[in-house]
């Protein structure tokens, strides 16, 4: 599932990172479907994990810079999701690289991010527009 315009928050930095995030998730999904090596998929999962952390950190910095009132709730959601991602990586590693694990994992992370963007990140964009 690709990034689509209706997921735009309206803050270029955040949108660009979301797009990149979806691209990476898509690649991971493809790699799982094409039954690529456990090592390769493991690397991609590690990348997704570190990219997610970087993205959340940048988003949090941005929220602080505009004194966004929903910062704490966002931070909590981000921390919880990072925990989920770590669990998935563990599941993947202990499953010996199961395709099912990777496909479920992918669905879970894409669903989560899509909901998070629509429900929470979109409000950062709204707040930014209201400031102008």
Enumerate binding residues for Fe ion (CB under 5 A): 59, 121
Q: Which residue is nearest to Fe ion (CB)?
A: 121
Q: How far is the CB of 79 from Fe ion (least distance, A)?
A: 11
Q: What is the 3-state secondary structure (H, E, C) of the chain?
A: CCCCHHHCCCCHHHHHHHHHHHHHHHHHHHHHHCCCCHHHHHHHHHHHHHHHHHHHHHHHHHHHHCCCCCHHHHHHHHHHHHHHHHHHHHHHHHCCCCHHHHHHHHHHHHHHHHHHHHHHHHHHHHHHHHHC
Q: How far is the CB of 59 from Fe ion (least distance, A)?
A: 5
In terms of CB distance, is 42 or 125 closer to Fe ion?
125
Q: How far is the CB of 89 from Fe ion (least distance, A)?
A: 20
In terms of CB distance, is 50 or 95 closer to Fe ion?
50
In terms of CB distance, is 15 or 59 closer to Fe ion?
59
């Amino acid at each position: 599932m690709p990034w689509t315009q209706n997921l735009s928050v309206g803050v270029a930095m955040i949108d660009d990172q979301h797009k990149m995030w979806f691209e990476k998730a898509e690649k991971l999904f493809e790699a799982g479907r094409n039954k690529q090596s456990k090592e390769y998929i493991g690397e991609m999962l590690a990348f997704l994990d570190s990219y997610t952390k970087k993205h959340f950190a940048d988003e949090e910095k941005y929220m602080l810079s505009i004194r966004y009132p929903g910062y704490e709730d966002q931070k909590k959601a981000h921390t919880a999701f990072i925990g989920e991602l770590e669990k998935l990586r563990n599941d993947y590693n202990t499953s010996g690289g199961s395709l099912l694990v990777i496909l479920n994992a992918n669905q879970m992370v894409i669903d989560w991010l899509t909901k998070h963007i629509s429900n929470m990140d979109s409000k950062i964009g709204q707040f930014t527009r209201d400031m102008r």
